[in-house]
Structure 1
Amino acid sequence: MRVLVAEDEEVLAALVATGLRKAGFAVDTVHSGDEALAQLGLHAYDVVVLDRDLPRQHGDDVARELVATASTTRILMLTAAASTEDRVAGLDLGADDYLTKPFEFPELVSRVRALRRRSARPPLPPTLERHGVRLDTVRRTAHRDGRDLELSPKEFTVLQILLEADGAAVSAEELLERAWDAHADPFTAAVRVCMSKLRGKLGEPGLIRTLQGVGYVL
């Protein structure tokens, strides 16, 4: 899914973004609070990994703004301050979770995934199943009728979005917004190409139907 990393230490931000991409997320990075609010106003992020001590606009102010606007974006706050008082203060601001630096990267990935599942209404189970397709969003495995699908990270994400839709149509625009980062060109055939590869790996009988002018349905 789509994550914004707001971290003023550019090397750390790049490392976090690279690791989250390897875990299957579409990731954008910013290095200040005002940039974070600008990006959050442009795109519907599932989770923001928010450094508390951001320049120009403090991370606390970013969290307050998200809460005030009733944003559905979940907040994972990062900070070097490890005291109980700091954690309580961060959570009271509206953060959904709190992680102190330094942290173990697998824990960060796990917390981001958990927040993403909780952000759905109703909350999503870690394993999604429909029409013989079984997707384990924690282990990142996908099977159809017991056969390993060997999906790329992008194919896995697109299939996950279709499964989460539970039979409803998902437009190409929504897929591009949720599965690709801000550098994706909206006029490319990225979604169509990914969908073609995914259909090939799912095999027969075909499971993904195209509704002309509407989108895709599993």
Structure 2
Amino acid sequence: MWILLVEDEISLSKSLKKGLEEEGFVVKISRNGEEAELLGKSNSYDLSILDWRLPKKDGQAVLKAWRSHGVDFPVLMLTALGDTEHKIIGLDSGADDYMNKPFSFDELLARVRALLRRKPQYSNTDDINIGALHFNKRKRTVSIFGNSISLRAKEFLILQLLLSIDGGVFSKHELAERVWGSDTVSDNTIEATISMLRNSLAKAYENKGIKFNDDTYLIETVRGAGYRLNTKILKSLS
């Protein structure tokens, strides 16, 4: 699951990012309202944690802009302004939940999970099975024909993203933002990581006597668009 964390306090944002990533989430940090508004309008996140007080544009204005643009992911608003009036303003602006600073990470995590459970597309299971491939995002494990395969952290996150939408195509820019959390990562780095993931998957199938003429058969390159998982062939390999 993909979270847009909008928080200008550097120590807090780093702490939240670390905690959420340890729970299996992929986190993109934004530290000002103008950037956050643009990122959120892509509507490509599963949830946002949004601070009220931000440089350049406050959280309430960002949230209103998202909702007027049709952005529908749930938003958990954070603020040191804990009076009832500000809670009402935040909720009326489109927030789905509200937390006062300071707060415990465990409570924030529970609220994040509760908000995600309300989403129609959200699955309560951490398991994804496609043919012989078994993926568990919480345990961070991948197996093929019951045999565990070892993936580097970025390989695992790319596979998680490719599995999130059946047949979905993801551009290098999307991979950079959602896996590396930065749009400055080089194309060569992305291509090398994709190549390692392809090789890891192909070898696991080869161990069962299933060979491919080209390991790009499992993760396809869509010219001019990006990459997608060949779920049709994966489903047939069971």
Q: CA deviation at 1:159?
A: 1.3
Distance of 1:117 and 1:140 partners within structure 2: 20
Unaligned runs of 5+ in 1: none
Q: Which moved more, 1:60-69 or 1:123-132?
A: 123-132
1:210 matched to 2:211: no
Q: CA deviation at 1:51?
A: 0.8
Distance of 2:152 and 2:97 partners within structure 1: 29
Distance of 2:25 and 2:153 partners within structure 1: 5
**8 A Cα contact 1:155 1:194, kept in partner:** yes
Alignment of 1:44-123 (within 5 A): 44-81=44-81, 87=87, 89-109=89-109, 111-112=111-112, 122-123=121-122
**8 A Cα contact 2:158 2:179, kept in partner:** yes
Distance of 1:208 and 1:117 partners within structure 2: 31
- Report what 2:13 is aligned to: 13
TM-score by length of 1: 0.75
TM-score by length of 2: 0.70
Unaligned runs of 5+ in 2: 232-238
**8 A Cα contact 1:36 1:62, kept in partner:** yes
Distance of 1:170 and 1:75 partners within structure 2: 26
**8 A Cα contact 1:118 1:124, kept in partner:** no
Q: CA deviation at 1:6?
A: 1.8
Q: Which moved more, 1:192-201 or 1:17-26?
A: 17-26
Identity within the alignment, %: 32
1:158 matched to 2:168: no
Amino acid at match of 1:25: V
**8 A Cα contact 1:128 1:164, kept in partner:** no
**8 A Cα contact 2:28 2:178, kept in partner:** no
Amino acid at match of 2:218: I
**8 A Cα contact 2:49 2:78, kept in partner:** yes
- Report what 1:28 is aligned to: 29
Max Rg structure: 2
Q: CA deviation at 1:64?
A: 1.1
